[in-house]
Each structure stands twice: as C-alpha cells, then as structure tokens.
Structure 1
Amino acid sequence: MDIRLTLDGRSVDATLNDSPPARDLATLLPLTLDLEDFHGTERIGYPPRKLNTAGALEPAVPKVGDLAYYAPWGNLALFHRDGDSASADLLIVGHIDADADRLAGADRITIEAAY
C-alpha cells in the first residue's frame, strides 16, 4: 500500500507492507507523531494505541528506511541506521524512500493514505 508521508513538512514516498500490524496502522491514518531519538539508530513515536500483531511477518534485521513497530512499547520506529539483529518484537511494517540524514533529523512525521 502506497502512503503519503511527510517528514518535518517535506513529502517522501513510502509504502506499507501487507502485514497485520501495517493494515492496522492504516486504519489510524491520517496520523501525526512527534519523534525522538532512540540509540542513535532510529527515530520513534507513539501511535494512539497498540497495533494488532497477530499473524505478523517473520522478524527481519531492520535496514535504513524501514518503518517498524516495536510491539512491547507500542511505538513506530524510522530506521536511519541499519539494525544489528532481528527481534521477534520488532516488526517491519513498511519502507520510507528517504536518505539516512533526512530520517535521522526528523522531529515530526505525518502518515496519510495515498489516493
């Protein structure tokens, strides 16, 4: 699913995959989140509720540009550096077509359905 994503007022192309948490995220759109740094690897923000993770895809090592959901905390993560390993609790829900510097500096994200 193509989505419209805005980072600090500037549009970027992005997609959601066909996983249960990605489909559940789509039901919350449009969604605007403030972002904060997490371990110099990702920017994180908290949707208004936890997402459905039943039947989620197998864990994968996150890469630059991945949009992921961390189930225990209920946060979305935008990776601006590659992750170290896969975690059963970290679910990739999509991908953002933006360079690492732009992702690393993002303070606010808006996610909307693309029509």
Structure 2
Amino acid sequence: MIPAALPALARAVTAAALLMAVTACTEDSTPSPAPSSSSASSLPAGTPERPATGPAPTTPSGRSSALKIRITIDGTPVDTTLNNSDAARDFAAQLPLTLNLTDFHQNEKIADLPRRLSTSGAPSGVHPRTGDLAYYAPWGNLAIYYRDGSPSAGNDLIILGHLPESATARLAGDDEVGVTIDNVP
C-alpha cells in the first residue's frame, strides 16, 4: 500500500465506525417486523409498521418508562398508556382535560387541545391503529382511533399512546362523546 494513502484510509475507517455507532443507537435502526401482505401495499415507503393490536412504541430499552393516564369515556374509566415522547409528556402536562370528541372519517374521534404540543423528535410516517391516542399537529387536535387509520407519510401525526381496544367500541357509536382525561393517582 502507498504510504500517502494511509491517512485517508484511517479517516475513512474512523468515519465508517462512527457512522455505524450512531446508526446503531437510533430507534429507527431497530428491525421492524415483516409487513403483512394486506398492509404492505397500503403503507408509503419507509412507514414503520406496528402490530395491529400492540401498543404504540414507547422508548428504547434503558430509558424511562411510559406514563399512565386515565380516560373516562361516558362515565367508564379506561387506564391508558402514553409513550415517552416529547409530545406525550407535553400532553400529560395539560391534564386534567374535559373534551367533547366528534367523529372524523368514521375511524377516529377528535377534539381541539387547549394549546399545541411539542413536535420535537416526532417520527416520520406512522400508521394509526385501533386504540391509538394521537396528535394531529397541523390542526392542534387530539385523536382517538376506534378503527385503523390511514398511513401518514410526514411527521404531522404523532402517536401519543394506546388505549385497550376493548375501550374503543364506546367511541364508534355516537357522533359526539364526552371524555375526561387525567393522570392516574
């Protein structure tokens, strides 16, 4: 090897090692499960897939745990898990809330929040599932999905947490549903 090429080679090896270390530490580097044949064609390229019945992603291992809140839907309390995103923590800071949710696209109930949430670090491309609690940044509203939603390619839809699917049936019936949302004591 030519001695003059050694410094360039050393820089290239160092840069490659640094790049591999950084990519290994990000959430996006986690392999996602193979998409099912029914959902693979409906997702935009690069949209992370989650199991249909699983909770919203929380945090990488070794970081703080998810937040617990209680949503009372027409008098029935439902314990709900928020993930540890900036937006979810910002949402929890607004609690307690009393909201009137209205139907939107026959798959979610929505309501305006008192103030907009932080979108710092929001992932791009999500596919909302039944039970997801989400924030739609362009409108500043909260959404609770009682049926699977359409994939969102940008970072305008942020999953905040997840309700048990058994609780979502209460949302499907009426056009408007009253809810209170509070921290779990």
User: Which of structure 1's runs of 4+ aligned residues deviate more than 6 A?
Assistant: none
Q: Please say if 1:93 is aligned against 2:163.
A: no
User: Which residue of structure 1 lines up, in the alignment, with residue 182 of structure 2?
Assistant: 112
Q: TM-score, normalised by structure 2?
A: 0.59
C-alpha RMSD of matched pairs (Å): 1.4
Shift of 1:108: 1.2
Count of aligned residue pairs for this structure pair: 115
Please identify which structure carries the higher strand content. Answer: 1
* Unmatched 5+ stretches in structure 1: none
Task: Kindly name which structure, 1 or 2, has the bigger radius of gyration based on alpha carbons.
Answer: 2
In structure 2, the CA distance between the partners of 1:60 and 1:46, relative to structure 1 (3 Å rule), is same
User: Which residue of structure 1 lines up, in the alignment, with residue 32 of structure 2?
Assistant: none
* Unmatched 5+ stretches in structure 2: 1-66
* Residues 15-40 of structure 1, C-alpha deviations (whole Å, 9 max, x = no match): 11001110000110001110100010
User: Which residue of structure 2 lines up, in the alignment, with residue 68 of structure 1?
Assistant: 134
* Aligned partner letter, 2:177: D
Please identify which structure carries the higher helix content. Answer: 2
Higher relative contact order (CA 8 A, sep 6+): 1
Q: Percent identity?
A: 52
